[in-house]
Amino acid sequence: MIYVTYAGPPSTPQPMMGQGASMTFLSLLLASTLLLTSAEAHAQTWPSTAALLQGTPSLPPQPALFVSSTGQTVREVRFDLSGNSYPPLRFPAYYLPATPPEGKLALRPNVQGGPWLLVMRILPFSGVIQTGQLEYRVLVGNLSSAEEASVPWLPALNEQVIATVDDPLTRYTLQLRLRVEGHETAGEFTTDALFTLKPTGK
């Protein structure tokens, strides 16, 4: 141990930290800093427990599409048949759209009173997709998996009433899929779905 004696009146010698002890202290300080930094990065990059259990990153919920009686609400529907899953092993085959994600679209009627008719109009597809190959179904309220599976798929025509709205607070979820029959070439196919509300009896 090294002692330093100060000039002037006699005083008690003060101990000074040796070089080895100083280096040990700096090493411990650096190690603790690295551990804290690593912990912060770990907390920022790991997905949630629910996402880990599902095996996919958690995605934010899609915003609801509000439909009114004063105009048409438009939503693009796009199918991508250029990936590794095309062509399918057998026909007919069913594909979910790239947009809206997973083929699901939450519809929220923006009206008071009722009843109202929720109307969907489908514009012609680009390419060789024919009318009726687009299929849809509407889930009303919160359904169980068994109840959802029992709702039939219907061909989407140029215009159709897809639901009767009695309560604006009711949840309506539109599901879309494309029936591929074998004459389609690989590529992207796009259309627009238009939604509006009409009074019953008109």
Residue ranges per domain, the chain? 2-45, 65-199
pLDDT of residue 34: 44
**Residue keyed to tokens 């215009």:** 159
pLDDT of residue 27: 57
pLDDT of residue 24: 55
The answer to whether the pTM exceeds 0.85 is: no
Q: What are phi and psi of 67, to 5 degrees?
A: -115, 130
The answer to whether residues 180 and 125 touch, using CB atoms and an 8 Å cutoff, is no
DSSP code at position 61: P
Question: What are the mean pLDDT values of the chain's consecutive 10-residue runs (202 residues total)?
Answer: 42 49 52 46 32 35 67 89 88 93 86 84 88 93 91 95 85 94 91 91 64
pLDDT of residue 165: 87
- How are beta strands 134-140 and 172-180 bridged, if at all? antiparallel
pLDDT of residue 20: 52
Tell me the Cα Rg of the chain.
32
3-state helix, strand, coil in the chain (%, to 5): 20, 35, 45
- Looking at residue 157, its amino acid is L
